[in-house]
């Protein structure tokens, strides 16, 4: 554990932490605890960060959704779970998920399903289907969407 910082010094360090990339309130609190800052000081620092626009939970949620969908091709279920782990409010999760365009989401789901389906071409049909479904569920896509994609591939 690091030496205890003064609230003023912790505020300066945490500003850089927030400026570097979008952060959730929870991440900032954890970092402040590591700096040896507690309760009232944490609340004051977080309030100031919000006031000065270093910290914005809605902006964090939209950035997180964009990144996880575009870069890692996660589905909405996995993204939602990730945001809940970061203790983002349901309202901000809904706002964040609006970043995903439905056509693009369906297209990514289809391409991932098709890619996995073709990769498993030597498998028996039932094993192939089970493995594709398991893979897509791990990526966070909805079961009904996965089964629709498999039907389209088989047609």
pLDDT at residue 1, rounded to an integer = 44
- Angle (CA) 105-109-111 rounded to 5° is 115
- Same domain for 120 and 140, yes or no, is yes
Last residue of a domain, one of 51, 66, 81: 51
- Same domain for 112 and 77, yes or no, is no
Q: Is residue 31 part of a domain?
A: yes
- Same domain for 87 and 108, yes or no, is no
Q: Which token pair is 62?
A: 């939209």
Q: Is residue 2 part of a domain?
A: no
Of 70-79, 106-115, 121-130, 135-144, which gets the smallest average pLDDT?
Answer: 121-130
Residues 92 and 82: their CA atoms lie apart, in Å, by: 13
- The CATH number for 122's domain is 1.10.10
Which of these, 139, 132, 66, lies nearest to 104 by C-alpha position?
A: 66
pLDDT at residue 100, rounded to an integer = 96
Q: Is residue 66 part of a domain?
A: yes
pLDDT, average across residues 133-138: 97
Q: What percent of the chain has pLDDT over 70?
A: 98
pLDDT, average across residues 56-63: 95
- Angle (CA) 2-7-12 rounded to 5° is 85
CA atoms within 13 A on the CB side of 123: 13
Residues 122 and 102: their CA atoms lie apart, in Å, by: 32
pLDDT at residue 4, rounded to an integer = 81
Residues 71 and 100: their CA atoms lie apart, in Å, by: 12
pLDDT, average across residues 3-18: 88
How many domains does the structure of the chain reveal? Answer: 3
- Same domain for 93 and 112, yes or no, is no
Q: Is residue 137 part of a domain?
A: yes
Average pLDDT of the chain, as a whole number: 93
pLDDT at residue 38, rounded to an integer = 84
Contact 108, 71 (CB under 8 A): no
User: In the predicted model, is pLDDT for residue 95 greater than 60?
Assistant: yes
Cα-trace Rg, the chain: 21
Domain limits for position 88: 57-97
Q: Is residue 82 part of a domain?
A: yes
Q: Is residue 109 part of a domain?
A: yes
Q: Is residue 1 part of a domain?
A: no
- Same domain for 88 and 69, yes or no, is yes
**pLDDT, tens only, 39-56:** 888 999 999 999 999 999
């Amino acid at each position: 554990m690091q030496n205890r910082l003064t609230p003023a010094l912790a505020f300066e360090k945490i500003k850089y932490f927030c400026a570097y990339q979008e952060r959730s309130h929870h991440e900032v609190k954890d970092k402040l605890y590591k700096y040896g800052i507690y309760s009232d000081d944490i609340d004051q620092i977080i309030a100031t960060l919000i006031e000065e626009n270093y910290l914005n939970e809605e902006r964090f949620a939209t950035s997180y959704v964009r990144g996880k969908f575009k870069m890692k091709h996660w589905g909405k279920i996995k993204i939602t779970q990730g945001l809940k782990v970061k203790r983002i409010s349901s309202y901000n999760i809904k706002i964040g998920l609006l970043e995903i365009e439905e056509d693009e989401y369906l297209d990514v789901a289809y391409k991932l399903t098709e890619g996995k389906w073709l990769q498993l071409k030597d498998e028996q049909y039932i094993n192939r289907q089970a493995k594709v479904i398991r893979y897509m569920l791990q990526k966070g896509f909805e079961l009904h969407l996965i089964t629709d994609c498999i039907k389209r591939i088989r047609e």
